[in-house]
Structure 1
């Protein structure tokens, strides 16, 4: 089990960063973006696990977009040494103009989305003069699903990640005072304490969680998760049960108008980097993903959209 957990954590992005993509939200044209190595962070102990300095990409906006910032925590295979790196990079960005931000978003994909959850209120505190600061998690809502198969192994996985990467101090005391640090890494146990407006972009059939976190004893489960056409009726029912748990858990935590959710039924994990998916976004109500995030961010309406029609995972490579 420990070897399996070790392998799984190698895929996971530890929720605190070594590599950031940082962009202001309005840029014009397209060109290569240089990497910024933050060598000054080394003396503060803010280094990657191989001792190298942290790094980020910065593409500045212009005109009206100069004071609008998007910070994205990337999901990569780089191992990190957490809060020190995040703090060092934020300090550097503040000095480069982020302190003047009028609008700002902290976002991240997969475990970078989990990092966004952990850092959201801290990010807001860095920008006291900004008019609007909010956070978006893209496929970072990893569920405990304690009543579904593999719950104990999911608990062991999250406990191992928490201990191995020493992130207990980054978890909210309001949670760790009540339960183990490993359980506090599950977003459902900490998002209720987040004060900053938050948006969760998720699939009810998150293929990464179904493939990597379900720990099914069914020897053909892996084949099923790789090719839905070969799934048995029992396996499809298991996916339905996962969908129900995901929706129930998100509904439970999204009990505020400032919390936005968009939960579709596409069989996938991650959205921000897939340009084709953005072009052919699923539509819930009258909203694409872009419209849903825009309506939520600019407070045109509350957004809590969930696909309640499709009880099975959908192939969403193309949308009408």
Structure 2
């Protein structure tokens, strides 16, 4: 597929993500202000455009005062200088475009919406490196924005951002935590798995530390025409941002770096307890990797991609194969007694960051995602909830 087409696809994804973000201006009621990591620049820990990284912190209270949840924001990736230059002019590549944010879902301060974590110290780490907080290229690169036509110096320093933010949070009281949970959604969910064990190592041995990945399992699959689009795409991300040196060595000695960026190939090496929250019909992967627009020039898949009830028999067969492929990739964790999972057959991408998905309506065998994660976090219950194939679950919700 042509590079220009790939770039346009990435720009489209970024544009769609930007729709849900607040416009610059007055912060909404209850919004948490952005905290910049002021000494990060001296360590080279900067966003794509060279601006300082940041996070939002809402302090805990009462019984949750010594418990911390650190959530890594998601937002796809960039795989070449042009798409990264475009990204550098958005909140996904520069703190200059980041606003105060209202915490929802697993970060909400409402005991009704978020009964298990509402009074914890809740942190949202902003995503501005385009490489799942994992890149570490020594030298910057020059890229030209396809929108402004201006040249932009680009920095790929996600690993340093991770380290600088963690150091700052430890100094702000996280070092005294009795319980800590690293979570993330989408690209941040992948990052929560990549950094899970290093997060564990930040704390004393008696601190209860766990990790949660929401929509962070990206499959190494062929698209509808047999092209390994996902593998090729992630290989470019890894090579561009010098991520390879931060990937698990036990994986990279056997596989391509692009594959080792995908959690299905390094999950078994994580020793910290993990909860996998994942749709087995992940809409992001279906739309961008399984059926990318470049492989559907006649747009025959558009109705099915937008609404599974409009899928033909042959199209639904492809989606069911994706579902079972996800279950196969996660099969090894079945025997992990301290791990939990909630693998739902609803068509969605992430489920923990918005109230409408986190409110307990969608269920697997009567269990809500809120209670499944909460019971695992507090009681160490390593239960795996696995949904039956679409369309068996009547509790699924969507914006439509």
Q: Report the TM-score, using the length of structure 1 for normalisation.
A: 0.87
| Residue of 119, 122, 126 corresponding to 2:202 | 126
What is the distance in 2 between the residues matched to 1:170 and 1:300? 29
What is the distance in 2 between the residues matched to 1:231 and 1:245? 19
Please name the residue that 2:320 is paired with. 240
Please name the residue that 2:61 is paired with. 62
Report the CA distance shift for 1:284/1:305 in structure 2 as closer, same or farther (over 3 A). same
Asked if structure 1 preserves the Cα contact closer than 8 Å seen for 2:180 and 2:209, the reply is yes
| Residue of 277, 293, 297 corresponding to 2:377 | 297
Measured against aligned partners, the alpha-carbon deviations of 1:169-189 in whole angstroms (never above 9, x if no partner) come to 221111111111101011110
Q: Does 1:260 align with 2:340?
A: yes
Please name the residue that 2:213 is paired with. 137
Matches within 5 A, 1:1-320: 1=1, 2-7=3-8, 31-76=30-75, 77-78=92-93, 79-80=128-129, 81-145=157-221, 150=226, 152-215=228-291, 217-218=295-296, 219=298, 220-299=300-379, 301-308=381-388, 310=390, 316-317=396-397
Please name the residue that 1:20 is paired with. none
**Deviation >6 Å, runs of 4+:** 312-315
**Which region of structure 1 is more displaced relative to structure 2, 160-169 or 82-91?**
160-169
Measured against aligned partners, the alpha-carbon deviations of 1:140-191 in whole angstroms (never above 9, x if no partner) come to 1111136975452221011011112221122111111111110101111011
Report the CA distance shift for 1:253/1:158 in structure 2 as closer, same or farther (over 3 A). farther
3-state SS of the aligned residue for 2:184? strand
Q: Report the TM-score, using the length of structure 2 for normalisation.
A: 0.70
Report the CA distance shift for 1:305/1:11 in structure 2 as closer, same or farther (over 3 A). farther
Q: CA deviation at 1:6?
A: 3.7
Report the CA distance shift for 1:124/1:210 in structure 2 as closer, same or farther (over 3 A). same
Unpaired runs of 5+ residues, structure 1, are 14-29
Q: CA deviation at 1:277?
A: 1.7
What is the distance in 2 between the residues matched to 1:314 and 1:160? 39
Unpaired runs of 5+ residues, structure 2, are 15-28, 76-91, 94-127, 130-156
What is the distance in 1 between the residues matched to 2:9 and 2:178? 39
3-state SS of the aligned residue for 2:275? strand
What is the distance in 1 between the residues matched to 2:205 and 2:172? 16
Q: What do you get for the CA RMSD once the two structures are aligned?
A: 2.3
3-state SS of the aligned residue for 1:107? strand
Q: CA deviation at 1:300?
A: 5.2
Q: CA deviation at 1:282?
A: 2.1
Q: CA deviation at 1:255?
A: 2.8
What is the distance in 1 between the residues matched to 2:197 and 2:214? 17
3-state SS of the aligned residue for 1:70? strand
